[in-house]
Amino acid sequence: MDSIIFDLDGTLWDPIDSVLEAWNKVILGNRRVQHGITRDHLEGTMGLQIKEIGKILFPELDEEGREQLLKELSQHEIPHLRERGGRLYDHVEDVLIELSKKYKLFIVSNCQDGYIESFYAFHGLDKHFIDYENPGRTGLSKSENIKLIMERNNLKKAVYVGDTEGDQKAAKDAGIPFVYAAYGFGQAGTYEYKIESFEELLDMF
């Protein structure tokens, strides 16, 4: 193994409380949306691309209205996360420091452009990662972004760490082993490895 590619939400951090704070300020000011968003709402959409999230959370809006709302949400969310951050899972930085001594580390997340940068800016963890990618920049699926990272960095034996069935499928489609982060937001029925805490990566690798 030469590298580890990480999902972000539900794997490295829990950003939900910060995202809720930013989103509800926008949502509650939108006359066409009849409800605010709760933690349960967001947990149920973790791992999806932003357009899919919009369809689930705002079915009452037409495509144009939904697109406009999602744009406004992103405009508020990115600077809010840059200023407030999220909740890192226990021992994340300590584990990254140790892993980076032996492996090249990367992030591939189904997020909008600027999201990973906000994670880096608040928590100062960018120094541990070589590269990152997301559909906000490329317009590609998660599996295609994993492949892009592998090609761009000449990776031969990568693994992907994530917390959802979508992550498992992306890893499979990219042809690499999947490490299921069972402490995260989602579920995965099949995997090559399973961890109950982020720290267990040190025992595994």
Same domain assignment for residues 25 and 75: yes
Quickly state the pLDDT bin for 30 (edges 50, 70, 90).
confident
Same domain assignment for residues 127 and 54: no
Same domain assignment for residues 181 and 192: yes
Residue written as tokens 């994670």? Answer: 119
pLDDT above 90 covers a percentage of the chain that reads 79
Same domain assignment for residues 97 and 193: yes
Of 84, 106, 141, the position where a domain reaches its end is 84
Same domain assignment for residues 109 and 10: yes
Same domain assignment for residues 65 and 162: no
The CATH number assigned to the domain holding 169 equals 3.40.50.1000
Q: Helices in 14-104 by DSSP H: which ranges?
A: 16-27, 39-43, 50-57, 63-84, 92-99
Same domain assignment for residues 114 and 46: no
- Reply yes or no on whether the pLDDT at 34 is more than 80: no
Same domain assignment for residues 56 and 22: yes
Same domain assignment for residues 114 and 200: yes
CA distances from 2 to 103, 157, 159, 189, 192 (A): 5, 5, 9, 26, 17
When divided into structural domains, the chain yields a total of 2
Of 36, 51, 84, the position where a domain reaches its end is 84
Which tens digit of pLDDT belongs to each residue from 111-170? 999 999 999 999 999 999 999 999 999 999 999 999 999 999 999 999 999 999 999 999
The whole-angstrom distance between residue 153's C-alpha and the CA centroid of its chain comes to 20
Same domain assignment for residues 9 and 24: no
Same domain assignment for residues 96 and 76: no
Structure confidence at residue 15 (pLDDT):
95
Same domain assignment for residues 9 and 20: no
Of 29, 55, 84, the position where a domain reaches its end is 84
- Domain span at residue 36? 16-84
